[in-house]
Amino acid sequence: MASIKDVARLAGVSVSTVSRVLAGSARVDDDTKRKVDKAIEAINYKPNLLAQGLRSKSGYVIGLVVPEIQHETFSNFIRYTEQEVSAIGYNLIIGNTRGKPDIEGDFIDSLLRRHVDGIIFSRVSDKSHVMKMVEKWNIPIVIMDRALDHEDVATVVLDNYRAGMIAAEHLVGLGHRKFAVITGPQDIALSRERLKGFTDVLERHGLFLTGRNIFEGNFKFNSGLEAGKYLLENKIEFTALWAQNDLMAVGAMNIFALNNLRMPEDISVVGMDNISSAEMILPALTTIVQPFQEMCHRAVGLIVAIKNGDKPKENRIVLAPDIIIRESTSAHREK
C-alpha cells in the first residue's frame, strides 16, 4: 500500500509538505501542490485520516450548522460545503437548528466538545448567543450568510445592502413608481440590510415605501402566500414587488395568479437567491443571485487557513450579488 513517504519521494518534496497539501495549507505554492496531487494520483495514495488525526489532534471533520435543512437556500450551502470539504479530504457534520436558538446552542456545544477542526454556521437570528460559547474554545469558526457587522470572527457574507439596491434599480429603471416588499424576519440583520438598500435607491429617485407596503415574512413559501393575500385584501397600491427570497416571491405570485392578475403586465416581481423554482414558475422569476458555491469555497478556505495557523488575508469576505432578468418583470404600463 502506498504511503505518504512514497508520495513525497515521487513529488520530490518533504513529507511535511505533502501533509500541508493534504490539509489544504495556503503556505504551499501552486506548482508544489500540482506535483503532490500528480504523485497522489499516480500511486493511488489514500491518506490514513485516523492516523493523521491522532498525530495532529485532528479528526478531519468540519461542522456546518444551518437554520433550516430543507430550505433550498441552505441545502445549497450544504451541497457546496460538502463538495469543498470532501475535496480536501475532510468529512462534514451537518446540524439543523430549525430556527431555534436553544437547538443551535446545543448542537454547536456538541461540536465543540467533539473537538471538530472547525465550525461554519449561519446563525438563527440576531438573538443567537453561540458566539459567547465559541470564544472559550480554540477552534476555527466562520459565520456564513447571517453575520453581524464588526464581529471579531471570520465571516463570509453577501453584500445584502447592494442586493436591495440592485432590485430597486431594476424596477425603477423599468418605470415603476409604486412598490411593495416582502422582507425576511427583521431580527435577522441581512433582512434589514436588504430593505435599507432598496429604500435608499427609491429615496434617491424621490420615491418612498410606506409601512403598509412592507410585509414581514419568514423566508418560507407560506409567508409569500400570506403576503400576497395581505397586499390584495388591503388594496395596497403597487405595480412592482420585491420579495427578499424566491420562495416568498413564488408564494405571492401564486396568489396574484389566482386573483387573475398577470405578471408582468399587472405586477412585476423580483425574487432573490436563484433557486430552482425561480425557473420553474410561469413566468420565470427575475431574481437577485447569491454566489452560493463561492461563499462555501471561501468559508472552507478560511477554516483551513485558521486551522493551519495561516493568517487570512481577509477576515470578513463580502461577495457581490448579481441579477438574472427573466419574464416576471417588464416596463410599467399605465392602466
pLDDT digits (tens, 9 = 90+) for 159-197: 999 999 999 999 999 999 999 999 999 988 899 999 999
Please, are residues 25 and 310 in contact by the beta-carbon 8 Å criterion?
yes
pLDDT (0 to 100) of residue 20: 75
Q: What b/e sequence results for 131-158 when a residue is b if at least 16 CB atoms lie within 10 Å of its CB, and e otherwise?
A: beebeeeebbbbbbbbbeeeeeebbbbb
Query: Class of the 4-47 domain?
Result: mainly alpha
Q: Which three cell numbers stand for residue 74?
A: 441552505
Alpha carbon distance 202, 179 (integer Å) = 9
Q: DSSP assignment, residue 284?
A: P
| Distances from the Cα of 308 to the Cα of 140, 240, 269, 305, 313, angstroms | 10, 49, 46, 5, 14
- Crossing angle, helix 15-23 and helix 30-43, to 10 degrees? 100
pLDDT tens by residue, 244-281: 999 999 999 999 999 999 999 999 999 999 998 899 99
In which residue are the cell numbers 480554540 written?
138
Pairing state between β 154-158 and 316-319 = parallel
Domain limits, CATH 3.40.50.2300, in the chain = 57-158+291-320, 160-290
Among 73, 281, 91, 285, which Cα is nearest to 188's?
73
Please, are residues 62 and 84 in contact by the beta-carbon 8 Å criterion?
no
pLDDT of 26 higher than 70: no
Phi then psi for residue 268, to 5 deg, are: -90, 140
pLDDT of 49 higher than 50: no
Give the CATH number of domain 160-290; options: 3.40.630.30, 3.40.50.2300, 1.20.210.10, 3.20.20.210: 3.40.50.2300
Please, are residues 271 and 246 in contact by the beta-carbon 8 Å criterion?
yes
DSSP assignments along 217-278, one per residue: --SSHHHHHHHHHHHHHTT---SEEEESSHHHHHHHHHHHHHTT--TTTT-EEEEEE--THH
Q: CB atoms < 10 A from the CB of 5, how many?
A: 11
Instruction: Taking residues 79-99, report their average pLDDT.
Output: 88
Q: What b/e sequence results for 241-267 when a residue is b if at least 16 CB atoms lie within 10 Å of its CB, and e otherwise?
A: bbbbbbbbbbbbbebbeeeeeebbeeb
Instruction: Taking residues 299-309, report their average pLDDT.
Output: 88
pLDDT (0 to 100) of residue 314: 76
DSSP assignments along 97-160, one per residue: -TT-HHHHHHHHHHHHHTT-SEEEE--SSTT--HHHHHTTS---EEEESS--TT-SSEEEEE-H
| Distances from the Cα of 168 to the Cα of 7, 46, 174, 178, 268, angstroms | 55, 51, 10, 11, 12
Banded pLDDT at 66 (limits 50, 70, 90): confident
Query: Class of the 57-158+291-320 domain?
Result: alpha beta
